[in-house]
Amino acid sequence: MNEKEEYKLNTRGIRPTAMRILVLKYLTNLRHTTSLLDLETHFITSDRSTLFRTLKTFEEKGIIHKIDDGTGVIKYGLCTETCDCSLKEQHFHFYCEKCTETFCLNHVKIPFLELPKNFILKQSNLVLKGVCSNCN
Ligand SMILES: [Zn+2]
Ligand SMILES: [Zn+2]
Ligand SMILES: [Zn+2]
């Protein structure tokens, strides 16, 4: 029943513990991104540091990526199967002003930007704002 999650964790070099499987499952079923607070509310019996460590491990191994959507709360989005978290994987995010959730627009990639000479792009936090399809 947990085969998909176990496989995904294994291929990313993460030992599939019960907690990690549960968190991954939760993230997979979620349409929007998550935050530590969101996980704490959902996994009420787990302690904060365990959840935080799970997020950290997932981030380090490329299961999720961190998003700064300008709300002051760090959000985490699920990476696609083939994501290597490189620049070419960077995509726009969408913040819904109604439900205050942030979504990964995995298919809306950040276009190639011509930067001034000797400027090196490392990361981009491009967040679109509006109303999502659930709220519209
Ligand atoms: Zn990624
Ligand atoms: Zn919404
Ligand atoms: Zn994303």
CB atoms within 10 A of CB 100: 12
Residue list, CB under 5 A from ion ligand 3: 77, 104
Ligand 2 centroid – CA 128 distance (Å)? 13
| 3-52 residue pLDDT tens | 999 999 999 999 999 999 999 999 999 999 999 999 999 999 999 999 99
For the chain, the domains span 3-130
Question: Which helix (H) or strand (E) covers residue 74, if one does?
Answer: strand 74-78
Average pLDDT over residues 55-68: 96
- DSSP per-residue letters across 17-61: -HHHHHHHHHHHH-SS-EEHHHHHHHSTTS-HHHHHHHHHHHHHT
Which class would CATH give 3-130?
mainly alpha
